[in-house]
Structure 1
């Protein structure tokens, strides 16, 4: 018997329209066990403009539960924000 909250059946990630927690939905590594969200689902939410963990979870039609994945979500957001800035700095230097 699994412990902890399980994702609601029939719920879909708004950022990629895949069923939340479905096997083979979009592939990738499960990052959020409480909501069965993969790294690819979270990356898509960030790519679509989510800049706060709350916005990432909302894009996937859920909320943070235990908070364990929040650090990884913050890292994804920081990487997304820094990548364009690094590209601009390289073009300005060249």
Structure 2
């Protein structure tokens, strides 16, 4: 019977390989992918779709009306004698 001391090997296994088996890693990967497909992607798509609908329904018309009002005010001010351009 020999008393040989086990020397550390040159290759060090990564921590996730030491902690988890391949089966557990496969299960974790499957759960992560399913979560992304089932929850994250539809939620993100729904949020983006809602954002675009709200923008085109509410924000864009309000901005357009505000721009038209500002243009009318500038035109009225120029007709009254105020000068806004630096072309002179």
TM-score (norm 2): 0.29
Answer 1 or 2: higher relative contact order, Cα 8 Å, separation at least 6: 1
TM-score (norm 1): 0.27
Higher helix proportion (structure 1 or 2)? 2
Higher strand proportion (structure 1 or 2)? 1
